[in-house]
Chain A
Amino acid sequence: MPSVLPLGDPAPPDGLLPAQAAQGAGNRAFGLYVHIPFCAVRCGYCDFNTYTATELGGGASQDAYAGTAASEVAFAARVLAGSGVPARQLSTVFFGGGTPTLLPADDLALILRAAVDEWGIEDGAEVTTEANPDSVTPESLAVLKAAGFTRVSFGMQSAVPHVLKVLDRTHTPSRVPQVVQWAREAGLAVSLDLIYGTPGESLDDWRYSLETALSYQPDHISAYALIVEDGTKLAAQMRRGEVPGIDDDDHADKYELADQLISAAGLGWYEVSNWARTPEQACRHNLAYWRGDDWWGIGPGAHSHVGGVRWWNVKHPTAYAGRLAQGASPAAGRETLDGETRTVERIMLEARLQAGLEVATLSAVGRHQVAGLIADGLVDPAAAFRGRLVLTLKGRLLADAVVRRILPD
């Protein structure tokens, strides 16, 4: 999650939610996101809310973190119940970071167990953790599997050493096939994360990374264009001219190559930056974000959404731990979305999906645009005839522009 928090309204100390949060909750899935704010080193491109081991101490230290996170789980259960949101079993759980696997597997298991004890978990629920190829072992993966994890997403990023160097990634590329194999042996589904458009990466470099990743036969691939966020080391290097700037045409070329190679390997796109071997292997936790389901975000800087109420926790782990120790909500701010804003978000998010969005739910102005979008090759005509707005390859690359065209004025 980006480190800059949005501007919003103040959140009350008791964390209780407005009435609208509970409305229709029975029809929405409930998930849990757990943010682990630690990394061995901070990567040059990363603006996520994460800290190296030496940066934190006291209640926010790595050792104490599992206990702190578990205390937010208990707090969350109280708030949801107190706000009249009916109790639901967990559909999905996702541990992200930072580097979740920098914590002992037992700590991750502890947090998961606390959540399951609180809410229960659906049969066949998806439980994912992100992982750095450097920070897993066959043993740790086995512990995760035993605790109920079903899926691991490795931050491979690239198979090319000079690209990994610009990204400040420390893992050696040859370790990736090994950890993929260990994860499979442990019985976990495997996803690989890739980044394209890193300064200095050629189209052939990218092709090599894609082919390498596909040769490990992952169940799922995420491929993201590099985003240079303000305040990162990479942004500073770019400003000083030490590394070349971002070229959107280069990104477009690489996206098209990714889609071509990944599709040829038998994986299908289901979201702008995500491909899965079968529809069942799509990341259901992320799909919940795009479908407007409910989730609680545990951890400093984590975002939550319940029934059109969005909030986000204080960023710094020490402040976060302090709030929870006092029994107060760790939320820094929140927004309560009105119907119109929820519509904007729904269109913005559903347009990214292969499932698309229902044309009939657009405003008259938006529906009027569809023919033009087909003419411009941005929207799939066959899907549109069936009443769904689904982006073409060209349209996926221009998804934001498409959304601006179909939003109500």
Chain B
Amino acid sequence: MSPMARTAPVPAATDPAIIRNFCIIAHIDHGKSTLADRMLQSTGVVQARDMKAQYLDRMDIERERGITIKSQAVRMPWEVDGVSYALNMIDTPGHVDFTYEVSRSLAACEGAVLLVDAAQGIEAQTLANLYLAMENDLTIIPVLNKIDLPAAQPEKYAAELANLIGGDPEDVLLVSGKTGVGVEALLDKIVTDLPAPVGDANAPARAMIFDSVYDTYRGVVTYVRVVDGMLHPRERIQMMSTKASHELLEIGVSSPEPTPSKGLGVGEVGYLITGVKDVRQSKVGDTVTNLAKPASESLSGYADPKPMVFSGLYPLDGTDYPVLRDALDKLKLNDAALVYEPETSAALGFGFRVGFLGLLHLEIVRERLEREFNLDLISTAPNVVYEVTLEDKSVLTVTNPSEFPAGKIREVREPMVSATILAPNEFVGAIMELCQGRRGQMKGMDYLSEDRVELRYWIPLAEIVFDFFDILKSKTRGYASLDWKADGEQVADLVKVDILLQGEQVDAFSAITHKDKAYAYGVMMTGKLRELIPRQQFEVPIQAAIGSRIIARESIRAIRKDVLAKCYGGDISRKRKLLEKQKEGKKRMKMVGRVEVPQEAFIAALTTDESKDKAKK
């Protein structure tokens, strides 16, 4: 077993041959943070007495203190056979919504630790990230974690991993982040098995941005991996995609606290501070070069983040609109993928149409808005982006059902995804039924082990953005895991279903659906609204329509009695107070034409039953 390094290699003066850059690919809850903490401790960069549980995972605490330098990449010394190495552990976002960010993090590494819970086996999202790692030619070190658990089945899952990536089950390392067993052996293996970075030290500087984070005090902190040349403090750097140039105020490494250095050389990983305030000026995937001696070609793989899912966000209290606007402006500083523009809904008032990378991204943004900015929000049902070709061959991009043209449509194209679902084989029937019902085309099915199956589908994104995952979970008693990535588009028979209350269209409830599902949507939504909208002083028809064709109809019967029978001397004060309360309640109603619709009805109608259940728990 190796000792802790006696001397650590110095940044800006480290031979690439003794650098190892790696990331940990793991499913949430499979123990990545605990293992990372244990590595920090074993390598001595964090003393045992300073050790806080999950050192790297402290964004919340830091945010509360107002300092948000995440340790996106930690440099750790480790000695093998008398040589001190510099190990850079690069954090990767764990979720499929952030596939592009993951791919950039992976591109900064030569190897990846594939960390799998020895009691649960691999999950679909891990599989997706593993696929990206292999696509980037990363060397994979398979590791089973939590071997201390009584429920651990190391043999079974070692065989599963070996089966997946090739190799011998014997080569799978067994560790416990909790007890520390096997962690030093893992550090040794990172040194011996992973290749050293390769680059041209004399070429013009080129460094790839794999993350950028906004910090209240320091502005944007940019994390880079140097590929060629060297970056120095105080020099002017240039972002190759935008040609914007900045002065490099500070450069350094995280160990794990930010530590300024004299620069960063080939293969090194560290942070840059230029004083810019907006992460959009420091885009993930972009190449940083020296303004005075610029590289001629940027590194490959840069892409602008592209929102996949759109949803309208509206403040429950209309007067909160400026708060929501400011909050989005602030979040944007730290989230390059967030796009939004003002939108007005007749039913919901002023809000924003916001684009997200995926559903999780939507949930995270919504939660941050509510928690950090104390907002109560209504979000409309998420929808995807449609390309509508009109009869005159002009093409419209539709991100909001209300923009869907009426008539004169030649064809509509919808985005498709490749979805991978992992589950115990007993649920295969249920999953196939669900996917077929969602217009999925099966692309393949494989057994990962005796009882675990991988199903692959090509399926419209629109079919999985709303409640697919919740239903998948409930049909498989929580065992299934899902991963998806964008994969082309298809022409489909899509229509817009409008919901009309007493003849008035309620834009918030319009939806673009497949023609075969329009009727079901119409029946569902009109039925739901009939339950949710209180009876009015007149009958209220609720209709679902495609264009001018009504496909479903319900009606709310007029209320016939709303009067207190007895109102004598002793009833007057009580009655008046009730009246004042009702009057107050009336102010919280949204008017659709003459129909009073309570806020709660909008929220409930736009919420799936599954997510309501979640909220109750």
Contact = CB atoms under 8 A, between A and B. Distances in A.
A398 B562 contact: yes
A404 B573 contact: no
Given A404-B582, A404-B583, A272 B572 contact: no
Contact of B574 (A4, A224, A252): A4
A255 interface: yes
B579 A407 contact: yes
B575 interface: yes
Contact of B560 (A33, A226, A252, A305): A252
A374 interface: no
Interface stretch (A82-90, A132-140, A294-302, A380-388): A294-302
A8 B573 contact: yes
Interface stretch (B347-355, B447-455, B563-571): B563-571
A397 B569 contact: no
Given A6-B573, A348-B575, A348-B579, A1 B568 contact: yes
Contacts of B573: 6, 8, 303, 310, 312, 335
B560 A302 contact: no
User: Which range contains the number of B residues in contact with the other chain?
Assistant: 20 to 34
B575 to A, nearest CB: 7
Contacts of B63: none
B583 A407 contact: yes
Interface in B512-540: 537-538
**By CB atoms of chain A within 10 A, which of B560, B571, B580, B582 has the most?**
B560
B218 interface: no
B559 interface: yes
B561 A295 contact: no
Contacts of B565: 224-227, 272-273
A378 B559 CA distance: 12
Contacts of B563: 272, 396-401
A151 interface: no
B49 interface: no
Contacts of B560: 248-249, 252, 394, 397-398
Contacts of B561: 225, 248-249, 251-252, 255, 397-398
Nearest to A250: B561
A133 B565 CA distance: 23
A13 interface: no
A72 B590 CA distance: 51
Nearest to A352: B567
B572 A397 contact: no
Nearest to A226: B565
Given A252-B560, A348-B575, A396-B563, A376 B537 contact: yes
A142 interface: no
Contacts of A225: 561, 565
Interface string A247-273: 011011001000000000000000011
B371 interface: no
Contacts of A221: none
A397 B580 CA distance: 19
A341 B576 contact: yes
Given A6-B574, A397-B561, A295 B567 contact: no
Interface in A320-336: 335
Contacts of A397: 560-563
Given A348-B576, A404-B583, A302 B567 contact: no
Contacts of A396: 563
Nearest to A391: B563
A1 B572 contact: no
A344 interface: yes
A344 B576 CA distance: 8
Contacts of A409: 583
Nearest to A372: B594
A331 to B, nearest CB: 13
A392 interface: no
B577 interface: yes
B536 to A, nearest CB: 9
Contacts of A303: 569-570, 572-573
B586 interface: yes
B570 A302 contact: yes
B564 A398 contact: no
B570 A312 contact: yes
Nearest to A375: B538
Contacts of A211: none
A184 to B, nearest CB: 26
User: Which range contains the number of A residues in contact with the other chain?
Assistant: 35 or more
A231 to B, nearest CB: 14
A345 interface: yes
A289 B562 contact: no
Contacts of B580: 344
B540 to A, nearest CB: 13
A344 B577 CA distance: 10
Contact of B571 (A2, A295, A302, A404): A2
A407 B579 CA distance: 10
Given A272-B563, A397-B560, A403 B579 contact: yes
A347 to B, nearest CB: 9
A398 B569 contact: no
A232 interface: no
A349 interface: yes
A281 interface: no
Contacts of A399: 562-563
A286 interface: yes
Contacts of B574: 2, 4, 6
Contacts of B568: 1, 286, 289
A317 to B, nearest CB: 16
Given A249-B561, A251-B561, A400-B562, A345 B571 contact: no
Interface string A198-231: 0000000000000000000000000011110000
A33 B579 contact: no
A305 B557 CA distance: 40
A19 B181 CA distance: 86
B374 to A, nearest CB: 27
A305 B537 contact: no
Nearest to B535: A248
Contacts of A348: 572, 575-576, 579
A376 B559 CA distance: 12
A287 B50 CA distance: 80
B579 A404 contact: yes
A348 to B, nearest CB: 6
Nearest to A254: B561
Interface string A1-24: 110101010000000000000000
A255 B562 CA distance: 12
Contact of A224 (B559, B566, B575, B576): B566
B537 A344 contact: no
Contacts of A407: 579, 583
A1 B566 CA distance: 9
Nearest to A398: B562
Interface string B66-90: 0000000000000000000000000
Contact of B572 (A227, A252, A310, A376): A310
Interface string B97-117: 000000000000000000000
B559 A398 contact: yes
B569 A289 contact: yes
A58 B418 CA distance: 85
A33 B582 CA distance: 30
**By CB atoms of chain A within 10 A, which of B559, B573, B580 has the most?**
B573
B579 A344 contact: yes
Contacts of B567: 272, 289-290, 349, 352
Nearest to A33: B569
A290 B564 CA distance: 14
8 contacts: A1-B571, A225-B561, A249-B560, A255-B561, A273-B566, A305-B569, A310-B572, A398-B560
Q: Which 10 A-B pairs have the closest CB atoms?
A: A1-B570, A252-B560, A399-B563, A6-B573, A303-B570, A225-B565, A224-B565, A248-B561, A252-B561, A401-B562
Given A4-B574, A249-B561, 6 more contacts: A226-B565, A398-B560, A398-B561, A401-B563, A404-B586, A409-B583
